[in-house]
Structure 1
Amino acid sequence: MQNTISEAFTNLINKLQGWLSAIIQNIPNLILAIVVMVASYFIATYIKKIVLKLVNKRVKQQSISNMIAKISAVIIVLTGLFLALGILNLSKMLTSLLAGAGVAGLAIGLALQGTLSNTFAGIVISFRKRIQIGNWVETSGYSGEVIDVNLKEFALKEADNNIVIIPNKTILENPLKNYSLTTKMRVFLNCGVGYESDLELVEKLTKETIANTFSQVKTPENVEFYYTEFGDSSINYLCRFWIDAESMLEKLKAKSKAIIEIKKAYDKAGINIPFPIRTLEFNNKLNFDDAVLDKQFSNN
């Protein structure tokens, strides 16, 4: 028994001496690995500040800028960790970490597929020059001003002041109309005048009214005017003109103003804007036929 204890104690001493020798031999590598880790930390902090400044020049969303800067810092730190493990000859541990990271990444990706898709879509949208905060856009059946783009959603403020929240993935996968990309918008105005109207006078008066109402329309010749059809109670026309506007709200205001001024001009000139009329006729023949039918049914 005493010999067994003595042998075990000797083996323990030899093992500790072996570990101590290994530590002493690897002190330079350990110091170098620590230096690499500390250096990677400070480099990551510096890189994070630089990336944040660069991204802020292109992206207005602070949350997305911070996320991109943090990802850059994490990549630098992980690179330093892998270098430090390689210096310490821990290649097997490095391989295990990479394998574990791959499996964990796959599991997290499957579990958070929807969230990650919205996150990456938000990053892509933020770097698009044609979609900026303050633009008036129309997408997925909604129209309004872009007030926020973050890592999860795309926020619009509609003309009625309601806020619409749309997932970033939906924005990226569907068509989007941006009214703010151009400084001009065309207003379409449909109307009709009575059959007794002087059509040449109607055209001239409409063009002059539009030109006098909007400063952007220099002359009546800049207004497009076309008669389109003989309607049930009116001769219909289409009027088109350009205005300086970047949102649908400005376009609606311009159209409303044009309708008001045209109505005033037509009233002053005695031009009629008719509306559909239905005439109901009751005569004795209908009553007589009903009486005859009632008599026939009664005889039968």
Structure 2
Amino acid sequence: MKEQFNTALSNLVDKLIGWFNAIIESIPNLILAILVMVAAYFTAKYVSRLVIRLIDKRVEQESIKGAISRVSAVIVVALGLFMALGVLNLGKALTSLLAGAGVVGLAIGLALQGTLANTFAGLILSFRKKIQIGHWVETTGYSGEVMDINLKDFTLKEADNNIVIIPNKTILDNPLKNYSLTTKMRVFIECGVGYESDLEKVEQLTKEVIANTFDQVETAENVEFYYTEFGDSSINYLCRFWIDAENMLEKLRAKTKAIIEIKKAYDKEGINIPFPIRTLQFDSKLDVNTSDIKETFAKN
């Protein structure tokens, strides 16, 4: 029993001595690994600031800038960690770490498909020059000013001051109309005049009113005017012209102003803008006998 105890104690001492010697031998590598991690930490901070400078003019959203800079910093630190493990001769641990990271990444990716899709879509939208904060856009049935683009959603403020939050993935998967990419917008006005009106006079008067109301319309010839149909109570027309505008609010204000001025001119010239009228005509010459009606109902 005593010999077994002495043997076990000797093995334990040998094992401890071996570990101590291994630690002593590994001190230079350990110091080097620590230096690598410290260098990676400071390099990550520098890279983070550098990335922010590089994307500052391309991306306006602070949330996107911060996310990209943090991702770049994490990549640098991860590279430093892999180098440090290599210096410590922990190749197997490094392989196991990479394998574990791959499995965990796959599981997280499957669990967060929607979130990751919106995140990557947000990054893509942030670098698109044709979609910027302040632009007036229309998409998926909503129209308004772009207020924010972050890693999760796309925020619009409609003309009635309502806030609409749309997932980034939806924006990429659907058509988007951007009114702010052009400096001109076309205004459409549909109206009708009475059948007794002088149609040539109506056309000339409408064009002159538009040309005199808007500085962007140089002459009456720049105004398009087309009669479209013989309506139930009026002859209808379509008038359209270009204005300098970058959002729907300016277009609506211009259309309102045009309608007011056209109505004033029509009233001054005595041009009628009729509303639907139904005329009931009671001139039947049938001889209706009350007794016959009563007899008919009695038979039925």
Q: TM-score, normalised by structure 1?
A: 0.96
Query: For 1:259 and 1:92, how far apart are their aligned partners in 2?
Result: 79
Query: For 1:171 and 1:289, how far apart are their aligned partners in 2?
Result: 72
Aligned to 2:95: 95
2:118 corresponds to 1:118: yes
Question: Counterpart of 1:253 in 2: which secondary structure?
Answer: helix
Cα displacement string for residues 185-227 of structure 1 (whole angstroms, at most 9, x for unaligned residues): 0001111111111111111100100000001101111111111
Aligned to 1:186: 186
Aligned to 2:6: 6
Distance 1:165 1:29, change over 3 A: same
Q: How big is the shift at 1:280?
A: 2.1
Aligned to 1:56: 56
Look up the equivalent residue of 1:165 and give its one-letter code. Answer: I
Question: Counterpart of 2:145 in 1: which secondary structure?
Answer: strand
Q: How big is the shift at 1:297?
A: 3.6
Q: How does 1:191-270 map to 2 (within 5 A)?
A: 191-270=191-270
Distance 1:289 1:185, change over 3 A: farther
Question: Counterpart of 1:138 in 2: which secondary structure?
Answer: strand
Q: How big is the shift at 1:283?
A: 5.3
Question: Counterpart of 2:159 in 1: which secondary structure?
Answer: coil
Query: For 2:42 and 2:243, how far apart are their aligned partners in 1?
Result: 55
Q: How big is the shift at 1:25?
A: 2.4
Query: For 1:43 and 1:289, how far apart are their aligned partners in 2?
Result: 107
Query: For 2:23 and 2:290, how far apart are their aligned partners in 1?
Result: 118
Cα displacement string for residues 162-205 of structure 1 (whole angstroms, at most 9, x for unaligned residues): 11111111111111100000000000111111111111111110
Q: How big is the shift at 1:150?
A: 1.1
Percent identity reads: 73
Aligned to 2:72: 72
Q: How big is the shift at 1:279?
A: 1.3
Q: How big is the shift at 1:293?
A: 4.3
Query: For 2:289 and 2:198, how far apart are their aligned partners in 1?
Result: 45
Q: How big is the shift at 1:291?
A: 5.7
Query: For 1:226 and 1:280, how far apart are their aligned partners in 2?
Result: 32
Query: For 1:76 and 1:287, how far apart are their aligned partners in 2?
Result: 102
Q: How does 1:24-63 map to 2 (within 5 A)?
A: 24-63=24-63
Look up the equivalent residue of 2:170 and give its one-letter code. Answer: T
Q: How big is the shift at 1:48?
A: 0.5
Please give the root-mean-square deviation of Cα atoms over the aligned residues, in Å: 1.6
Q: How big is the shift at 1:73?
A: 0.3
Distance 1:286 1:40, change over 3 A: farther
Q: How big is the shift at 1:257?
A: 0.5
Q: TM-score, normalised by structure 2?
A: 0.96
Q: How big is the shift at 1:121?
A: 1.0
Query: For 2:13 and 2:54, how far apart are their aligned partners in 1?
Result: 58
Distance 1:31 1:272, change over 3 A: same
2:43 corresponds to 1:16: no
Count of matched residue pairs = 300
Question: Counterpart of 1:45 in 2: which secondary structure?
Answer: helix
Cα displacement string for residues 251-278 of structure 1 (whole angstroms, at most 9, x for unaligned residues): 0110011000000001101111111111
Aligned to 1:109: 109
Cα displacement string for residues 14-70 of structure 1 (whole angstroms, at most 9, x for unaligned residues): 111211222222222222211111111110010001111222221111011101000
Distance 1:268 1:97, change over 3 A: same
Q: How big is the shift at 1:286?
A: 7.1
2:127 corresponds to 1:127: yes
Distance 1:237 1:295, change over 3 A: same
Query: For 2:284 and 2:80, how far apart are their aligned partners in 1?
Result: 103
Q: Which runs of 5+ in 2 are unaligned?
A: none
Distance 1:164 1:27, change over 3 A: same
